[in-house]
Structure formats: structure tokens, C-alpha cells
Structure 1
Amino acid sequence: MSAGSKVVVIGGGVIGLSIAFHLAEAGVEVTLLERGELGSGASRATADVVRSYFAGNPISSALAVRSLEAYRAFPARPGAELPLRQVGYLVLFTEPDQVAAFNADLAAQRAAGVDVELISAEEARQRNPLIGDLPLAAAAYSPDAYISDTTAIVTAYAQAAEQAGAALRTGCPVTAIDAEAGLVRTADGELSADAIVCAAGAWSASLVRCAGVDLPLTEPIEQELLTTDPLPPGTPEIPVTLHAASGLLIRTRGDRLLIGMGYPGADREAWRRDVAARIAETYPSLAGIPLHTAVTGLRDASPDKTAFIGHQPGPPAFLYATGFSGHGLCNAPAAGELVRDLYLDRDPGMDVAALAMSARRTG
């Protein structure tokens, strides 16, 4: 089968769907190709948290600030009610150098529009009473963190993109692209396009290489989030809380905790034991609470944990939005806007060049 489209977007996660929606809304003919079901990659392995503060990464923070504004406006555009329950984001610092790094980063975070401040160990414990007798030096607190629903966001973008005229094709893995000829090859045939957008997440590396763009993306990484048994009665509502030294991230989900801590790697049981030990150390009242897999999924990653968003002018043009390193849900609306503006040669309203490979030092 041979077909054509003005723009072919590869990847049906929250990033690709945001791109498809923003392009279609602007009147561009769009076809989106997804290897599985919509939202079946990294978008299914999120903690359903949208926040604006990314420590040491003001570029991701700027994208997240812009995206959070879009999420708040979702009922008007694209036109869907989203759950947004404000819980705040707390980062626990146990070492003086972590506090020093926060202070060094603060001006750039404020310039990016982030509302964040350094608080005392006492205030951190007031905000999260589960914290045990850690040697806390201080903590960072940002009120702009919300519990949302990734599936609802994926569905809203998909429906709005289709209503705007985009064609969404699932079960259609891309086998190769010929960026010079503007061809996308699939098991069902090939599509020609004036522009190709790679938003394929964990499967992006080989596709961008076909276009002559050498992004230092890692191999697909399996993310796993854990959940606990029901918490003891009376357990308080807490902010999304990150223990900076260990990477232990927790939030309440109903009457349980949702937990993440890095990546399991080859020895999943050893990783789980490490997670359990960190929980016992950080939140002693929860020591020994059973842990269960909540969700798994593959995700992409860049060396500096900042997305690659860039544009090789055509025709045919090639654009990419990948390497979000777990920040995709928080960055998705802004990513869609930026790719749309790059394709249409509009002013994106921020320094997109800083996100392109040509401007990055990642080694």
C-alpha cells in the first residue's frame, strides 16, 4: 500500500499525540503511526504526576511550566476535563552539597517560571509526616505539582487530533525511514510526506539515524513503578516526595503508595530489596510493607535528561522530539507546540535551539 500525507508523525504516546493535535489544529494534514496501541509505551508507565520543577534542569522546567499552563486550560483546549489534584512536590536533601546545588540553580529555575523555595527540615516533616529520623539538611518545595491521569490526557489528545482531521493508525510499526526521499516504510507499505516527525520514544534511536541525526539516546530502558498494600488507617495525604540521594519517589494513590526508584536493571529482585530498604530508612512507619508491581513500560533517555527537539529543514523536512527521560508527560503540551512552530516556521516563544542536538554537550 502506498499513501501520502503532509506530515507523518511516528509514535502514538503522549508526545506524538500532542504533536499530531497541534499540527492538525493548525490545519496541517497529519498521519500518526503507532506500533502498538496509543499510549502503550512510556506513556503507560508514569506516576500520573505533572509538575514544573526539575532540579538542575531549567530547560525541562521551562517546558514543564508552559505545559502546566496548557493542562490547566485543557477544558477549553483541546476540550476535555482533566483531573488535576494539587499536592505539591517535595525534594529531600540530606547532604550540604545538595543544598548548594539547589541555591546555584535557583535563579535559572525562577527565570524559567518555576515556583520553588528552600524550606527547613522541620517544615519538610510538617508537609510529609511519614519522614523518619533522616539527617535532613533542608528540602525544596514547589506547590506546582498535580496528580492527573495520563490515560485521560492521551485519550483527549487522540480525540482532538482526529476531530481536527488527523489520521491515527495503530498496530503499524515503522520499519525504516528515507528522510531524503520523504518516505516512511511500514509492514503495510510506505507513506510519502513533506515532513517526518520522530516521536517514537524508546524506538527513536535507529529512526533518527536514518535521517542522518546522531542523537546519543540510550537503548530502551524498562521502567517499573511499585505499589504497596493498603496504608495504615489515618495515613496523611503527602506531597509527591523525592529523596534526592537515593532517587526514591513516592506519592499516595488512593489508600496505597505509588513508588519509583530508578530502573530495575537485570536483577529485579535485588532492586526491589533496595527499594524496600530505602523505604524503611526514609519512612520507618512503612518498613516491611509489601510491594507489588503497579506498571512497567519502556522509556527513552538522553544523557542530560533533557529532551531533544529539533528540525532539519526540507523539503522533505525531518523533525524530532525524543529523549524525554521520564519527563514526557510534564513536557508534552509544550513539545507539541514547539514541533508545530518549527514545522510552520513560526516563533516558538522560547529558545528551541537549546533543545537541538547541535547545541548540546551530552558527553
Structure 2
Amino acid sequence: MSALPARADAVVIGGGVIGTSAAYHLAEAGVNTVLLERGSLGGGASAHTAGMVRTYFPGDPDTGQRAVRSLNAYHDFARHTAAPLALKRLGFMALFTDEQEIADFEATHQAQQAAGVQVSLISAREASGLNPLINERAVLAAAWSPEAYHVDGLDIVRGYAAAARNHGSRLFTHTPVTGIDDDNTVHTPQGSIKAGSIVCTAGPWSGEVASMASVDLPMTPRSMEMLFTDIPPSPHRELPMTMHAASGLRIRSWKDRILLAMGAPKAGETREAWLGRIAGHLGTLFPALDGIGLHRAWTGDFDASPNNTAFIGEDPTRRFLYAAGFTGAGLCQAPAAGEKLRDLLIVK
């Protein structure tokens, strides 16, 4: 491994999808950039997702606006990074089982459209036409957003990393940050580097990194477990990602199985009880999956803010920028987050 340089205009801490996007956008703008990653690139939260990018986030048009900008960037990814993405359109659906959920959708629909999000309210019958596993009688209506795609998150990380290097950025893996001085000197086991600006994109560790710099970033790491079903008894066509608005249960096709998630056990809840809650929702909403075997696919920690909306900004007291709190939706917002960090850094 080559030695750390003595200084850099920007030191990005964290080499997931947000960090590599930041490194690319900064280097492409002519900023002397170094990225430090404690493990391997994309080895954290970026690797533990359902592999979907979407633009509709119920009740959150601000996130939708970043996601729309990001999806446009992914469609144009190859031109900027020379790394084409295999985007496969699946669509995204949120199932409403309570009248208030429908009212909430209608209250924010105009704002979603103004943000560029393509989403409409459809009937339970229309929803079951898009996903035949749905029990029409258990659903009142659904939100349907066709702009949702399967993508390999590591392809995004690798594409941004290669493009960042092509623009002169230096990326160091297996280089954890151990301390940050008041003058923005960043310490690692491989040496120290003086940063003109620090850019924190460390995912679940963002709060820990921020505290090293005496910056308060109210992050709460949250566990997420993805599950595979057994192979369903009847073959199914490829399904859109489908979310139950009330519980957060999400399912989508994954080869010959179903991939699903519903957070992780609550405090004091056993894993068996949590799996029982999932099984209950599956039996009600998707009767064909009633009683199907569930198996751990992968687990991971995600960075979460108190209101589940990402923090992207700069500390008022020092040159410390941050983008964190994406709660597993970093893939959906990475290009826009990198652009925002670049703009924050170069305007001064």
C-alpha cells in the first residue's frame, strides 16, 4: 500500500456508495481528494441492500427529489464513469391497508409530482395485476411508481471509485480513522494527513467519526436483516418491489425465490417473535407465501437519523462536511449527495 500524502484539499472518510460518489464529484471538479475506508470499498451498508434504486418515498418528497436527480445520473452513468450499469426496471408499490394512509398519500401527491416523482394511486385490483401474490381483499389501494430499478450497488461503488482515480483522487482501503485533531489532521494506523476539509460519509460509523472532530451528528445505527423464502410452490413472474406501508414489510423477486425485509427484531423481541410477525403479514397480504420457510440472507447496520431523512451539510464551526442517515436508501441518493457535498465544499 502506498503511503498517505501529507495533506489533501478534501479527505473523504468512508468508501461506500456515498463516499465514492463524493470522491468522484470532488476530484472531477479539480479538488485534491483522498478517500479513507476502514475495510474494502462498498463492504459496509452499500453491500447489504435489496439492490433497488427508486424515486418514490412515501411522505418524503425531498428525498424523492434527490432520488430523481440520482436516477437520471445512473441512466447517464457510463458517460461519466465509463462503467455502464445494468439497470433492470421492476417498479415499486406501496400497499395501503388503512384509510389514513390513502389520505396521507393524497396530501403529499402534488409535492411528489413537483419533485419529479412519477407515482399514482391505483386500486387493489390493479395492484394485484402488477403483483399476483397480493391478496386484493386485504388491500384498500396502493401507490404505484414505475421508476424503480434493480442494480448491483457494488457496480456503482466500483464505477465511482475508478472514475475518482481517473480524476486524480487517491483511495486507501483498510485504513480506519483513529483520531481527528482540531486543525483537521486525520490520524490512521498508516499515518496522518492534514485535510483542508473533512467529508464524513462513514455510514453507521458517521456519528463516531463526527465525535472525533467534536461535531454532534445525532446518528443511530440500525440493524437490518434480509431474508430469503424457500422456493415458492408455484413459479412466479418477476415482481415489483412491494412494500406494506403499515409494517414496512418489503418483498421482491430474487431469482427463483422471494427476498424480503422488515427491519430487525425490536428491543426485547426475540428473533422467533419477529419472524412470527413477518409470517403473519405474509399470510394476510400474500396468501401464496403463507407458511413458507424463511432464511437469513444477510444482515447489516445502517445509518439512521432521528426522522429517517438524510443529513447533508457542513458544521458551522469547522471545515467538516457530512452526508449520513440514509437508512438503507443511499443507493437511491448517492449521485445527488455527491453533487451536494461538492457544491458545499467548492463554494468557499
Q: Give the whole-Å Cα distance in 2 for the aligned partners of 1:174 and 1:211.
A: 11
1:282 corresponds to 2:288? no
What letter corresponds to residue 341 of structure 1 in structure 2?
D
Partner of 2:327: 325
Instruction: Please say if 1:126 is aligned against 2:117.
Output: no
Residue 92 of structure 1: which of 92, 95, 113 is its match? 95
- Report if the CA contact (8 A) 2:206-2:217 is conserved: no
Unpaired runs of 5+ residues, structure 1, are: 347-363
C-alpha separation in 2, matches of 1:134 and 1:214: 47
Q: Secondary structure at the match of 1:238?
A: coil
Aligned twin of 1:148: 151
Does residue 193 of the first structure (1) align with residue 195 of the second (2)? yes
Query: 8 Å contact 2:94–2:242 — kept in the other structure?
Result: yes
Taking the aligned partners of 2:322 and 2:53, their CA distance within structure 1 comes to: 22
Deviations 1:189-215 (A, max 9, x none): 221010100111101112223434322
Matched residues in 2 for 1:100 and 1:233: separation?
Answer: 36
Give the match's secondary structure for 1:76.
helix
Q: Distance in 1 between matches of 2:299 and 2:179?
A: 26
Provide the C-alpha distance between the structure 2 equivalents of 1:53 and 1:100, rounded to a whole number of angstroms: 16
Between the aligned partners of 2:315 and 2:276, the Cα distance in structure 1 is: 46
Contact 1:44 1:295 (8 Å CA) reproduced? no
Whether the aligned pair in 1 keeps the contact of 2:14 and 2:35 (CA below 8 Å) is yes
Deviation at 1:313, TM superposition (A): 6.5
CA distance in 1, matches of 2:53, 2:120: 18
CA distance in 2, matches of 1:231, 1:135: 21
2:76 maps to a residue whose letter is A
2: distance between equivalents of 1:271 and 1:165? 47
Name the stretch that deviates more: 267-276 or 108-117. 267-276
- SS of alignment partner, residue 75 of structure 1: helix
- The answer for the alignment partner of 1:22 in structure 2 is 25
Letter in structure 2 aligned against 1:141: W
Q: Distance in 2 between matches of 1:37 and 1:154?
A: 11
Does structure 2 conserve the Cα–Cα contact (< 8 Å) formed by 1:300 and 1:326?
yes
Aligned partners of 1:211 and 1:158: how far apart in 2?
Answer: 26
Superposed displacement of residue 336, structure 1: 0.5
Select the residue among 262, 269, 272 that pairs with 1:269: 272
Equivalent pair of 1:50/1:146 in contact (CA under 8 Å):
yes
Does the 8 Å CA contact 1:21/1:158 hold for their aligned counterparts? Answer: yes
Distance 1:291 1:135 in 2: 22
In the other structure, the counterpart of 2:48 is 45
The residue identity in structure 2 corresponding to 1:166 is: S
Residue matched to 2:63: 60
Residues 156-178 of structure 1, C-alpha deviations (whole Å, 9 max, x = no match): 11111112211111111112222
Distance 2:38 2:138 in 1: 47
- Name the aligned partner's letter for residue 245 of structure 1: A
State the distance in 2 between where 1:206 and 1:87 align: 36
> Matched residues in 1 for 2:127 and 2:70: separation?
27
Q: Distance in 1 between matches of 2:142 and 2:287?
A: 19
- For 1:336 and 1:135, the matched residues in 2 are separated by 41
2:183 aligns with: 181
- 1:202-247: CA deviation from partner (whole Å, max 9, x where unpaired): 01112223434322211x2221111122233431222110011111
* Corresponding residue of 2:232: 231
Query: 3-state SS of the aligned residue for 1:214?
Result: coil
Q: Which residue of 2 aligns with 1:260?
A: 261
Q: 2:346 aligns with which of 337, 344, 347?
A: 344
> Could you tell me how far apart the structure 2 residues matched to 1:293 and 1:162 are?
36
Matching residue's letter, 1:206: E
Contact 2:123/2:141 (8 A) holds in 1: yes
Q: If the length of structure 2 is used for normalisation, what is the TM-score?
A: 0.94
* Equivalent pairs, count: 343
**Equivalent residue letter for 1:247:** G
- Opposite residue 291 of structure 1, the aligned amino acid is L
Which digits, 9 at most, give the CA deviation of each residue in 1:32-75, with x for residues without a partner? 11111111111111000000000111111111000000011112
Deviation at residue 153 of structure 1 after TM alignment: 1.0
1:199 and 1:122 mapped to 2: Cα distance?
42
**Given that residues 16 and 42 in structure 2 are in contact (C-alpha distance below 8 angstroms), is that contact kept between their aligned partners in structure 1?**
yes
CA distance in 2, matches of 1:176, 1:280: 50
Partner of 2:206: 204
Deviations 1:253-279 (A, max 9, x none): 111111011223463232222222221
Deviations 1:312-356 (A, max 9, x none): 478x6211111111111100010011101111118xxxxxxxxxx
1:28–1:274: structure 2 CA closer, same or farther, 3 Å change rule? Answer: same
Give the deviation of 1:286 after TM superposition: 1.3
1:215 to 217, 225, 230: 217
CA contact (8 A) 1:44 1:296 kept: no
Matched residues, percent identical? 52
